[in-house]
Amino acid sequence: MTCLSINFFLLLPTISITALSDLAATITRRSPMYNFGPASKRDTVLFSAERPGNPPGKNDPIPDERVVEWIQFMQEKEQNIHTVVALLDENELVNYEPTGLLTLYRQYGLKCQVQSMNDPRAAHNLFQLFEHAEAAQQRVVTHCTGGIGRCGRVAGAWLMHRYQLTPEQASQETLQCAQHVGMIRACDPIQLKQWFDTQQLGYS
């Protein structure tokens, strides 16, 4: 697995051999467990990761043991996560058996919230949660499926909101941090701006 500074997989059908050679210089090996890492080198609040049990088969149940291992990693001193935000839709939560993903989070003392990216209030809800965590000097981890697309977009949006960055600046900072840590993350500035605009937060 590798970390790309742009959405490499979407470019595969059209990218040239020369461009592939140029792109290879920006590739680093994926090193962190669970694709875990911060939104930015300067941010102390927001982290992202792949979901527990990733990658499962399309319809394979994910047992409690896989979730517990993930939780224990997040609660270790080095990670010190207090809150989990699942950027998942309802159909992505059904494969956790027998206890259920959110129930296990709560049983192990984690605050948890489910937030669909299709919700027009998603950014508002997330920023409010991140700001409360920052005030309490606590850490939040978001996860989608692989910790790549949705997590990258939320990381970029948070940097725009928190540090008043443009979509281009936020995307660059998000991807540079991921490359430094060894994470796989995607954050396209055009898609970030389009999603941000649907949130009606007044950013251009």
Where do the structural domains in the chain lie, given as residue ranges?
Answer: 30-198
Spatial distance between the Cα atoms of 55 and 44, rounded to a whole number of angstroms: 28
**Residue 53 CA, distance from chain mean position:** 15
Spatial distance between the Cα atoms of 57 and 51, rounded to a whole number of angstroms: 13
pLDDT reading at 183 higher than 50 = yes
pTM score > 0.85 for this model? no
CATH number assigned to the domain with residue range 30-198, chosen from the 4 options 3.90.190.10, 3.40.50.300, 1.10.150.120, 1.10.3720.10: 3.90.190.10
Give residue-wise pLDDT tens across range 77-87.
999 999 999 99
Residue 141: both structure tokens together = 């981890």
Pairing of strands 96-97, 62-63: parallel
| Cα–Cα separations (whole angstroms), residue 202 to 6, 116, 161 | 26, 20, 11
Give residue-wise pLDDT tens across range 46-105.
999 999 998 766 678 899 999 999 999 999 999 999 999 999 999 899 989 899 999 999
